[in-house]
A and B are shown apart, each in its own frame.
Chain A
Amino acid sequence: MAHEILVPPLGQTTDTVILATWYRQVGEQVAQGETLFAIETDKATLDIEAQASGVLARVLAQAGDTVIVLSSIGTILLAGEHLASPATTPDGGKKAVQAVEHAGPTSTESGAAAPASRRPGQRIFISPRAKRLAETTGVDWQTLTGTGPEGAIVERDIRMALATPIAPLQHLIEAPAPITNQQPAAAMAAPNAGQLAAEVDVSALATLCERLRVRGPTGIQSNVIVTVADVIAWIAIKADQRHPTGIQSNGGGLTGASMGVLVAGEGQFNVKVIREPGSKSLISLSREIASSESIAKDATPVAPAAPAFLFADLGQYSLDTVNGFNDVQNSALLSIGRIRHYRDCSQTLWVTLSYSRAELSDFYAAQYFNTVVQLIEDPDLLF
């Protein structure tokens, strides 16, 4: 079996290392036990031995690249083996496409997406732990190649899939309008669209949600489950109150009169309208997001009261971020992606602010975005 060259795990705190050098060129013979490559951590440079003998058939990372531990950075082929077709290689593009299939509101079981190297009907083995993780994080494990005992998919395979960010833009170009019915290409070209994005640590926020689940916000047991997305929606409002962004069309701040929350409807995206969001407590906001009625996102003509500010939890569709701002109906869209879990128990997600420059200046947007990020990373500042 072809041997994947994995970046060795180095304790609990290191997620990425720098590939210092390859000691072998592609095409050269490699013997098990001889030094194959070197990695560099903040502490030391380490030589790593080959775990199999054969030919170094390909490398997926070059010297100087930052690589994720336990990810594959190359392949050693044994005698008589050939590289599998490109479709089976775990590259980001392929995953992005699959994620879109998965994310589409009407998508069904996509069994057909199994890699070509797997015979039809051949059973895929996955550990119970990996399966559980895949199901809670929305990873489509049927499309993964296992690296565990006897080729089974194990936890690290799911973690690797989670740690491979979906290329922004990709899904909107290839998917038939998952978020808007306008042409994505046109939207990208819109000169007055601004976008800010960052990967944000949500560990503290996740702990806060756990605590709320157990104790309720006032120490009293509450039957409302407050999700990370709910708290971030609330932060979107709170950040606006701290930094009134002075949106032209809305008189007050971004979230002054109302805000919209993007939800999946029947074959399309709908918007739930939250009135007077600034006056809501976290619990009532959470309850409202879970229950309020929605209107079709692209219903025309747009009601005059349509919210200027949209919030979207893209994570539930296995997406991380959106493709620029392309919707003239709204002033700004704050979106969050999937929660990623790391070996050191930290959690992150992508936060993206897409906005219309006609409504919001880059300066205000940056100020607002910065506050949002701060409040997410340190939710104690909320209280």
Chain B
Amino acid sequence: MAMLTIAEALREGIREEMMRDPRVFCLGEDIGISGGFGGAFTVTLGLSDQFGHERILDTPISEIGIAGVAIGAAMAGLRPIADVQYGDFLFCMMDQLANQAAKMTYMSGGTVAVPMVMRAPVGSTRRGTQHAQSLEAFFTHVPGLKIVAPSTAYDAKGLLKAAVRDDNPVLIFEHKLLYGSKGARSEKGALSPIGEVPDEDYIVPIGKGIIRREGTDVTIVGKLTTVYMALAAAEELAKSGISAEVIDPRTLVPLDKELILSSVRKTGRLVVVEEDNKTGGWAGDILATVAEEAFFYLDAPVKRISAPDTPPPFAPVMEAYYLPSAEKIIQTVKSLF
């Protein structure tokens, strides 16, 4: 059992899958160049030394190219793990992702699978509007994509391995403040959780959420960094006699709906915390699901804490205003009692 950061856990997951299955290969910008960082956030650092540049494939700066190669290779029987440096660049490959990869299995009557993994860093980290968006909700609206969002090292490795083995296109959203990248790529204000990661083969099943903290009075659902904000808030709320249950769905599509519903049936209150923009967001959808399916268990209005409907601001002060926080969660939860 090793203690790893998320970046290291992802790297180990990729390494093990590449050793296990010769069809698995990585492609992306600057992921294998000598003297490079190992991608933008060190995830693939050193892998080209072990697997060579044939399987750790450096691409030109063209997201359309990355998507095209990855989707084509997947359709032809390989298991690509593609990397975009910033999730924002997924928009460059929108046609290939949303119109081709996501729909191929449906359009072919199930005869063509696209077993592709696309890794995309998200989150506002003082980089301004085009390198800081949280696009998870956006892509949950594209049927045909599976979407995971690991918040711990254990889940990062387990979900990556599950994604590689899945026959559908899987998007992995990783948060820049959670990687624990080191050296020149270390992030200011990063949480960098380090966690135990088993050495033996394991997967975290896609579609299974987890209760990060048990409680009885309110359910707080978060993903990526907002899980940690929720846990900090829960700790603080406990001092006021409010027992908060914190749920990390880990997979956004397909969502572990029953885990959230059963928690709300117990607590009667729900707060969902996300870094996505509010309108058409991920939180709104969970609130709607709970209002539809657990209405008679609710003891207070369902609440969401989301980013405002603006691009992420560059100025640090404005960014702090824009993002959710433990304080905002505490305030919202207390308004429900």
Contacts and interface: CB of A to CB of B under 8 A. Distances in A.
Contacts of B296: 128-129, 131-132
B228 to A, nearest CB: 24
Nearest to B238: A11
Contacts of A131: 296
A185 interface: no
Given A10-B241, A127-B268, A149 B216 contact: no
B297 A129 contact: yes
A128 B298 contact: yes
Contact of A149 (B243, B297, B301): B301
A130 B300 CA distance: 10
B50 interface: no
B301 A128 contact: no
B241 A155 contact: no
B336 A149 contact: yes
Contacts of B297: 128-129, 132
Interface in A1-16: 8-12
Contacts of B216: 12, 343
Contact of B298 (A9, A12, A129): A129
A214 B170 CA distance: 41
Interface string B200-230: 0000000000000000110000000000000
A343 B243 CA distance: 13
B299 interface: yes
A130 B241 contact: no
Contacts of A148: 299-300, 337
Interface string A128-141: 11111000000000
Interface string A234-277: 00000000000000000000000000000000000000000000
A127 B267 CA distance: 13
B335 interface: yes
Given A12-B216, A148-B337, A149-B336, A155 B301 contact: no
Interface residues of B, number: 15
Contacts of B335: 149
A334 interface: no
Contacts of A149: 300-301, 335-337
A154 interface: yes
Nearest to A343: B216
B183 to A, nearest CB: 46
A129 B264 CA distance: 11
Contacts of A10: 241
Contacts of B301: 149
Q: How large is the interface on A (under 10, 10 to 19, 20 to 34, 35 or more residues)?
A: 10 to 19
Main secondary structure of the interface of A (DSSP, over half): loop
A126 to B, nearest CB: 10
Contacts of A129: 268, 296-299
Contacts, number: 39
A343 B268 CA distance: 13
Contacts of A127: 268, 298-300
A243 B34 CA distance: 90
B295 interface: yes
A124 to B, nearest CB: 15
A8 B300 contact: no
B336 A8 contact: no
B91 to A, nearest CB: 39
Instruction: Give the most central of A129, A131, A148, A152: most B CB within 10 Å.
Output: A129
A287 B268 CA distance: 36
Contacts of A343: 216
A49 to B, nearest CB: 10
Interface in A264-315: none
Contacts of B300: 127, 148-149, 152, 154
A10 B295 CA distance: 27
A349 B252 CA distance: 45
Contacts of A12: 216, 243
Contacts of B336: 149
Contact of B241 (A9, A128, A132): A9
A127 B269 CA distance: 11
A149 to B, nearest CB: 6
A236 B241 CA distance: 42
A202 B177 CA distance: 51
Interface in A158-211: none
A128 B297 CA distance: 6
Interface in A93-149: 127-132, 148-149
Contacts of A130: 299
B199 to A, nearest CB: 38
Nearest to A127: B299
Interface string B237-277: 00001010000000000000000000000001000000000
Contacts of B298: 127-129
B295 A128 contact: yes
Contacts of A11: 243
Interface string B298-312: 111100000000000
Nearest to B291: A128
B244 to A, nearest CB: 13
Nearest to A344: B216
Interface string A1-45: 000000011111000000000000000000000000000000000
A148 B335 CA distance: 9
A129 B269 CA distance: 10
B292 to A, nearest CB: 12
A130 B269 CA distance: 12
Interface in B282-300: 295-300
Nearest to B265: A129
Contacts of B299: 127-130, 148, 154-155
B234 to A, nearest CB: 14
Interface in B141-189: none
Contacts of A128: 295-299
Contacts of B243: 11-12
Give me the 9 closest cross-chain CB pairs, A-B, nearest first. A129-B299, A127-B299, A128-B296, A8-B241, A129-B268, A155-B299, A132-B296, A154-B299, A128-B298
26 contacts: A8-B241, A9-B217, A9-B241, A10-B241, A11-B243, A12-B243, A127-B268, A127-B298, A127-B299, A127-B300, A128-B295, A128-B297, A129-B296, A129-B298, A130-B299, A132-B296, A132-B297, A148-B299, A148-B300, A148-B337, A149-B300, A149-B336, A149-B337, A154-B300, A155-B299, A343-B216
Given A9-B217, A129-B298, A149-B335, 5 more contacts: A12-B243, A127-B268, A149-B301, A149-B337, A155-B268
